Structure 1
Amino acid sequence: MALSLMKGILYTGGELTDLATFARLPVYLQTFLREQNGVVAYFGGLHIRGCVAEPTWHSLDAAWQGPTAFWRIYDEMTEADIPFGQDCVGNQFLLRGDAVLLLDTETGELADLEVDFKHFLFGVEKYPLDALGMEPLRGFQQQGGVLQPGQLVSVFPPFCVAVNSGKAPSLKAVAAADRLAWLADFHQKIKDLPDGQTIQLTSE
């Protein structure tokens, strides 16, 4: 899918400067990144990373091989999984072979979306709200919020936690690095807990 078919483009990645990472990618992802070196589209609903050193939030290498790379944190991932993109709250889209997987960054669970990269993009174009889980972003926008490139929506309390208050979750824009670090820390704290365990939460 051409970038011209994507709606709500906030950011494109400019020149390919990280050629070492680019060389490791499958041909179809190289083709996409040659046109634009990554993109933030759907007003922040989808971020596809680029082959750059800076800004770090847009760097595929930082997400894939850096000190906080997702495979270092989430047991279900392998080093070969390519974290090419993310949704508005920081769940990760991965390539494993030619399959697109979704990593839930709260629970660490992986879901096979049963599409390849091309059909993932087709699905996003036709059904962005569902394909990208954009309800939190819509809620944030309805409160007057606007995501900037390099930001994600913080959702508190987390989706995987049952809360007795009945209140709607708090939604706010935070730096992507801060959101992903909070999710990684939260995941480490809950991953070995039994279902139904009571926990104390602190927000981002």
Structure 2
Amino acid sequence: MKGILYTGGELTDLVTFAKLPGYLQAFLREQNGVVAYFGGLHIRGCVSAPSWHSLASVWQGERALWRTYAEVQKADIPFAQDCAGNQFLLRGDAVLWLDTETGELADLEVDFKHFLFGVEKFPLDALGMEPLRAFQQAGGILQPGQLLSLYPPLCIATKGQSKPSAKAVSVTERLAWLAEFHRQIKDLPDGQQVRLQPL
């Protein structure tokens, strides 16, 4: 992996670690999670702290993804996220992608090993890194523990009335905003006009 900004330290959450499939355990033994591609990919670790790096908090904590997103099952392992907070989940051996704005779930039709291979070979496409590149070209830097807050959200058609912007915010803040945004729009029909408050 390129552009590594952070690697998790010691495995401190052995309860969560014990619940993981062998291939993910093997990866986390090598490096207990990582922030790579200058913030384009965050693979979570089995740690008690920092909380933004903790796999358990988004898998089983009070803000677990399955509590917000109907398509996510309790057993799905949210092992990673992209620069904007969209999630990569393991369901069995399959890697799924969760759009955290709309709640839509897509099967990427790869296993964990081939997911990593695809990311290594085509990081821009595999991780949807265009917003991060634009942010970096404007002088922005994404620190470990931060995600991009994109405004307007990507799922909103603005008819050119709103210039897209991105800013770095904490992982916790971004995921909480996405969850609330999703709750507000999930039952709206396509084409419904909405009024937004930026993060």
Is TM more than 0.5 here? Answer: yes
TM-score, normalisation: structure 2: 0.99
Which secondary structure state, in structure 1, belongs to the residue aligned with residue 168 of structure 2?
Answer: strand
- Aligned residue identity for 1:104: D
Which secondary structure state, in structure 1, belongs to the residue aligned with residue 182 of structure 2?
Answer: helix
Aligned to 1:3: none
Aligned to 1:136: 131
Cα distance in 1 for partners of 2:74, 2:3 equals 32
The Cα shift of 1:167 comes to 4.3
RMSD: 0.7
Name stretches of at least 5 consecutive residues in structure 1 with no aligned partner: 1-5
TM-score, normalisation: structure 1: 0.96
Aligned to 2:188: 193
Which secondary structure state, in structure 2, belongs to the residue aligned with residue 155 of structure 1?
Answer: strand
Cα distance in 2 for partners of 1:124, 1:30 equals 19
The Cα shift of 1:110 comes to 0.2
Cα distance in 2 for partners of 1:173, 1:97 equals 33
- Asked if 1:121 is matched to 2:88, the reply is no
The 5-angstrom pairing of residues 29-40 of structure 1 reads 29-40=24-35
The Cα shift of 1:164 comes to 2.5
Which secondary structure state, in structure 2, belongs to the residue aligned with residue 101 of structure 1?
Answer: strand
State whether residues 152 and 162 of structure 2, in contact with CA within 8 Å, keep that contact through their aligned partners in structure 1.
Answer: no
- Asked if 1:46 is matched to 2:41, the reply is yes
Aligned to 2:170: 175
Counterpart pick for 2:92 among 87, 97, 108? 97
Tell me the matched-pair count: 199
Cα distance in 2 for partners of 1:175, 1:166 equals 27
Cα distance in 1 for partners of 2:31, 2:180 equals 32
Name stretches of at least 5 consecutive residues in structure 2 with no aligned partner: none
Which secondary structure state, in structure 1, belongs to the residue aligned with residue 90 of structure 2?
Answer: strand
- Aligned residue identity for 1:85: A
Cα distance in 2 for partners of 1:41, 1:80 equals 26
Deviations 1:69-112 (A, max 9, x none): 00000000110000000000000000000000000000000000
The Cα shift of 1:158 comes to 0.3
Cα distance in 2 for partners of 1:70, 1:167 equals 29
Between the two proteins, what is the percent identity of the paired residues? 75
Cα distance in 2 for partners of 1:138, 1:40 equals 16
- Aligned residue identity for 1:13: G
State whether residues 79 and 90 of structure 2, in contact with CA within 8 Å, keep that contact through their aligned partners in structure 1.
Answer: yes
- Aligned residue identity for 1:117: F
